[in-house]
């Protein structure tokens, strides 16, 4: 939700640099964009507009400038208009601010500021920030102190980045939304071993891809912290008491190439194809650690899994993994619904939080609830150093590499693989689990060939004009049916719904008309007969049935063959649906990487 990127240092093209870097954060929001550069006279020049930053030619910002900040917006307060786009300015235009998150008490603060003579140009909560800092500067000369005082008045979850005409510093603060500092060394991202390194500038961004071309040395801002940098030095402090907070420098391992589209037209397709390798990377975990975690689940008085959206469907599938493979009961709840489960939590309980980004607000809230009861938290994340990764008691990484498309694909299969591995470890069969998952990964490698993809593309062509699409599954294929619906909805905007096959006759079957496409997900196991019966029931009502299954069956009008992966069937079955969703989007003229109304990394509740 909203991308922030700022730079201060010796580079003289800061404006162009932040605009180019921000293009790598467009997945966080793409309603509108804006940039503020400080020119040689010390004035702040703001440019902003509605639309995508990817369409902006950054060369228009090539004037000499060593301090700049920029923003790409996902609207919360106020519509998508040029006026509402960030940066926002103080009345005297000396302060520019970009912001992610929500200032919950903005109306109250705005009324107070109006009484003091401030007037506002936008409908955003953000605009009160530069005005409040301006007000605070009446009683302090120091820009950073004024920002601190303003921050103390905010309620809500936010990250902000500010600059001032007379200060050489960029000042940023976070409470709930991510901010990361990139340390720009003169010798670039790949230093000579043992060489003495000199800093040329500092980058501050909502996510690492913004500055990955310049540095892979990062420092994380934690909740309740501020950072002040003039490009030569950086100081992290506590917002509340101003005390200095020491920070480590961390080297990140993702490469620039991993975060780029390469030869693919869209990130979504690239990331679907990467599942050839990413599942194997997820499985490659420290076995001792997996065994320790399996033991922790066994000993816990209640294990809860929480996550949102697609990650939630991985958790839901794992309820079946733990039950079938390990004979152990775990409970899944959508993170946004978890609050009221606190009655069941005790210090011996365990919460497993699953998140690609590691920044999802609802998942972080659920973690807080568990921690307040003294329960331990295990995180399964993709992004190393993300808030969930750092705040959990233990963290496992799925190592999928950067996921840039809004629709989650390779992260899902990585999450499923890690959860299944733990279930196998609990059953005392870690090696068997690892073997199965690695075999599955190699079956997926075979499956993702050009002929297979073309077949699915042809199917997309056939059904692209349909208004409704239903997906059924049983056992772990039930959460995959729900996930299929999410994928189809979010990128193609076709109305899609997933059901447990057995539930059809309790209501949803009334929706079926002649030619309604219905997908049945199945494996080769004890529930296959049931789900086949459900498919026949659909066909009898006129549905156009698409079977995703290891074997052909006369119940299918169209068959998408998948390998027989046993307990790992969920991982293979979802892949043709990801490809189908992709082609449905493309054939309907939609951009699958940037679906309407959505953004990756949902840092608001
Ligand atoms: C859908 C999708 C979302 C995310 C959800 C959780 O394709 O990507 O449903 O799965 O917003 O995000 P993370 O995993 O980052 O916590």
Q: Does ligand 1 lie within 6 Å of residue 415's CB atom?
A: no
* 275 and 360 assigned to the same domain: yes
Å from CA of 600 to ligand 1 middle: 7
Closest to 72 in 3D by CA, of 93, 90, 50, 44: 50
Q: Which residue has the tokens 């390998």?
A: 563
Q: Among 401, 426, 448, which residue terminates a domain? A: 448
* 176 and 70 assigned to the same domain: yes
DSSP string, 371-386: HHTT-EEEEEESSTT-
Give the pLDDT of residue 77: 83
Element (H, E) at 183: strand 180-185
Q: Does ligand 1 lie within 6 Å of residue 363's CB atom?
A: yes
Q: Do 37 and 65 meet the contact criterion of CB atoms below 8 Å apart? A: yes
Mutate to test the pocket of ligand 1, among 309, 334, 398 (most ligand atoms within 8 A of CB): 309
Q: Among 392, 414, 448, which residue terminates a domain? A: 448
Q: Does ligand 1 lie within 6 Å of residue 290's CB atom?
A: no
Q: Does ligand 1 lie within 6 Å of residue 447's CB atom?
A: no
**3-state SS record for 286-346:** CHHHHHHHHHHHHHCCCEEEEECHHHHHHHHHHHHHHHHHHCCCCEEEEHHHHHHHHHHCC
Å from CA of 238 to ligand 1 middle: 30
* 33 and 109 assigned to the same domain: yes
Q: Does ligand 1 lie within 6 Å of residue 592's CB atom?
A: no
Å from CA of 351 to ligand 1 middle: 18
Closest to 154 in 3D by CA, of 97, 244, 90, 224: 224
Q: Does ligand 1 lie within 6 Å of residue 356's CB atom?
A: yes
Provide the token pair at 152.
């103390």
Q: Does ligand 1 lie within 6 Å of residue 407's CB atom?
A: yes
Question: How far is C-alpha 135 from the chain's CA centre?
Answer: 36
Give the pLDDT of residue 260: 78
Q: For residues 365 and 195, what is the distance between their CA atoms, to the nearest angstrom?
A: 43
Q: Does ligand 1 lie within 6 Å of residue 311's CB atom?
A: yes
* 40 and 84 assigned to the same domain: yes
Q: Does ligand 1 lie within 6 Å of residue 581's CB atom?
A: no
* 502 and 470 assigned to the same domain: yes
> For the chain (length 605 residues), average pLDDT per consecutive 10?
93 96 87 94 94 91 94 87 95 96 94 96 95 95 95 94 96 93 85 77 94 93 95 97 94 78 90 94 96 96 97 98 97 95 93 96 95 97 93 96 94 98 98 96 91 95 97 98 98 98 94 97 97 96 97 97 97 98 97 85 69
* 241 and 309 assigned to the same domain: no
Å from CA of 476 to ligand 1 middle: 19
* 392 and 432 assigned to the same domain: yes
Which residue CA neighbors atom 7 of ligand 1 most closely? 407
Domain count, the chain: 3
* 153 and 204 assigned to the same domain: yes
Mutate to test the pocket of ligand 1, among 74, 338, 602 (most ligand atoms within 8 A of CB): 602
| Closest ligand 1 atom number to CA of residue 601 | 15
Mutate to test the pocket of ligand 1, among 28, 266, 308, 487 (most ligand atoms within 8 A of CB): 308
Å from CA of 363 to ligand 1 middle: 11
Q: Do 199 and 183 meet the contact criterion of CB atoms below 8 Å apart? A: yes
* 218 and 251 assigned to the same domain: yes
Q: For residues 517 and 467, what is the distance between their CA atoms, to the nearest angstrom?
A: 9
* 332 and 359 assigned to the same domain: yes
Q: For residues 525 and 536, what is the distance between their CA atoms, to the nearest angstrom?
A: 18
Q: For residues 576 and 249, what is the distance between their CA atoms, to the nearest angstrom?
A: 41
Which residue CA neighbors atom 6 of ligand 1 most closely? 308
Q: For residues 119 and 110, what is the distance between their CA atoms, to the nearest angstrom?
A: 9
Range of the domain at 296: 261-448
Q: Kindly give the pairing relationship between strand 225-229 and strand 170-175.
A: antiparallel
Give the pLDDT of residue 420: 98
- pTM for the predicted model, two decimal places: 0.84
| Closest ligand 1 atom number to CA of residue 356 | 14
What sign does the dihedral 496-499-504-506 (CA atoms) show? negative
Å from CA of 553 to ligand 1 middle: 34
| Closest ligand 1 atom number to CA of residue 412 | 10
Indicate the SS3 state at residue 30.
Answer: coil
Q: What is the CATH number of the domain that holds 105?
A: 3.60.20.10
DSSP classification of residue 13 = B
Q: Does ligand 1 lie within 6 Å of residue 593's CB atom?
A: no
Give the pLDDT of residue 187: 79
Q: Does ligand 1 lie within 6 Å of residue 204's CB atom?
A: no
| Closest ligand 1 atom number to CA of residue 388 | 16
Q: For residues 544 and 538, what is the distance between their CA atoms, to the nearest angstrom?
A: 8
Q: For residues 147 and 22, what is the distance between their CA atoms, to the nearest angstrom?
A: 24
Q: Among 393, 415, 448, which residue terminates a domain? A: 448
| Closest ligand 1 atom number to CA of residue 357 | 15
Q: What is the CATH number of the domain that holds 577?
A: 3.40.50.10490
Closest to 227 in 3D by CA, of 215, 236, 219: 236
Closest to 98 in 3D by CA, of 12, 20, 177, 155: 177
Closest to 370 in 3D by CA, of 396, 386, 394, 346: 346
* 191 and 78 assigned to the same domain: yes
Give the pLDDT of residue 280: 94
- Active site positions, annotated: 2, 600
Q: How far is CA 462 from CA 430, 435, 483, in A?
A: 43, 38, 22
Q: Do 601 and 1 meet the contact criterion of CB atoms below 8 Å apart? A: yes
What sign does the dihedral 196-198-203-204 (CA atoms) show? positive
* 107 and 126 assigned to the same domain: yes
Give the pLDDT of residue 526: 95
């Amino acid at each position: 939700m909203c991308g922030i990127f700022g730079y201060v240092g010796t580079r003289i093209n800061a404006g162009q640099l932040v605009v180019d870097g921000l293009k790598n954060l467009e997945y966080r929001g793409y309603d509108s964009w804006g940039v503020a550069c400080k020119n040689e006279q010390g004035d702040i020049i703001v440019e902003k507009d509605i639309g995508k930053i990817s369409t902006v030619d950054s060369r228009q910002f090539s004037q000499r400038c060593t301090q700049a900040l920029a923003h790409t917006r996902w609207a919360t307060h106020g519509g998508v208009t040029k006026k509402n786009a960030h940066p926002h300015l103080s009345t005297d235009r000396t302060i520019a601010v970009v912001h992610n998150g929500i200032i919950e008490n903005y109306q109250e603060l705005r009324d107070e500021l109006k009484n003091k003579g401030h007037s506002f140009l936008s409908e955003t909560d953000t605009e009160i920030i530069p005005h409040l800092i301006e007000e605070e500067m009446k009683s302090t000369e120091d820009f950073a102190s004024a920002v601190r005082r303003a921050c103390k008045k905010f309620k809500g979850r936010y990250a902000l980045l500010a600059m001032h005409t007379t200060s050489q510093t960029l000042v940023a603060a976070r409470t709930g939304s991510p901010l990361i500092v990139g340390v720009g060394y003169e010798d670039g991202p790949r230093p000579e071993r043992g060489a003495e390194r000199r800093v040329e500038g500092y980058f501050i961004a909502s996510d690492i891809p913004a500055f990955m071309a310049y540095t892979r040395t990062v420092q994380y801002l934690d909740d309740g912290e501020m950072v002040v940098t003039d490009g030569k030095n950086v100081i992290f402090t506590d917002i509340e008491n101003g005390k200095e907070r020491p920070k480590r420098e961390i080297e990140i391992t993702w490469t620039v190439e991993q975060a780029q589209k390469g030869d693919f037209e869209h990130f979504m397709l690239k990331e679907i194809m990467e599942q050839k390798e990413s599942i194997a990377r997820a499985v490659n975990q420290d076995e001792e650690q997996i065994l320790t975690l399996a033991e922790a689940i066994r000993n816990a008085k209640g294990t809860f899994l929480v996550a949102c959206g697609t990650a939630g469907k991985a958790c839901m599938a794992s309820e079946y993994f733990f039950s079938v493979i390990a004979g152990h009961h775990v409970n899944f709840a959508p993170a946004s619904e978890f609050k009221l489960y606190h009655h069941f939590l005790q210090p011996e309980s365990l919460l497993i939080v699953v998140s690609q980004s590691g920044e999802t607000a609802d998942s972080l809230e659920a973690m807080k609830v568990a921690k307040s009861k003294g329960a331990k938290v295990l995180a399964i994340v993709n992004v190393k150093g993300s808030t969930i990764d750092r705040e959990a008691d233990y963290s496992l990484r799925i190592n999928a590499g950067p996921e840039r498309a809004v629709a989650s694909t390779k992260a899902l299969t990585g999450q499923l693989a890690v959860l299944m591995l733990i279930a196998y470890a609990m059953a005392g069969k870690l090696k068997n689990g690892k073997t199965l998952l690695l075999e599955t990964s190699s079956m997926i490698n075979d499956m993702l060939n050009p002929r297979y993809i073309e077949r699915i593309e042809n199917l997309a062509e056939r059904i692209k004009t349909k208004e409704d699409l239903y997906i059924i599954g049983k056992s772990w294929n039930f959460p995959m049916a729900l996930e299929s619906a999410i994928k189809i909805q979010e990128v193609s905007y076709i109305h899609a719904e997933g059901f447990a096959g057995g539930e059809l006759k309790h209501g949803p079957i009334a929706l079926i008309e002649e030619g309604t496409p219905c997908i049945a997900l199945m494996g080769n196991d004890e529930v296959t007969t049931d789900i086949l019966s459900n498919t026949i029931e659909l066909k009898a009502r006129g549905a156009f049935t698409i079977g995703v299954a290891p074997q052909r069956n006369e119940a299918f009008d169209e068959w998408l063959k998948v390998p027989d992966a046993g307990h790992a069937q969920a991982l293979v079955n979802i892949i043709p649906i990801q490809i189908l969703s992709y082609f449905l989007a493309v054939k309907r003229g939609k951009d699958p990487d940037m679906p309407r109304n959505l953004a990756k990394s949902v840092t608001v509740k």
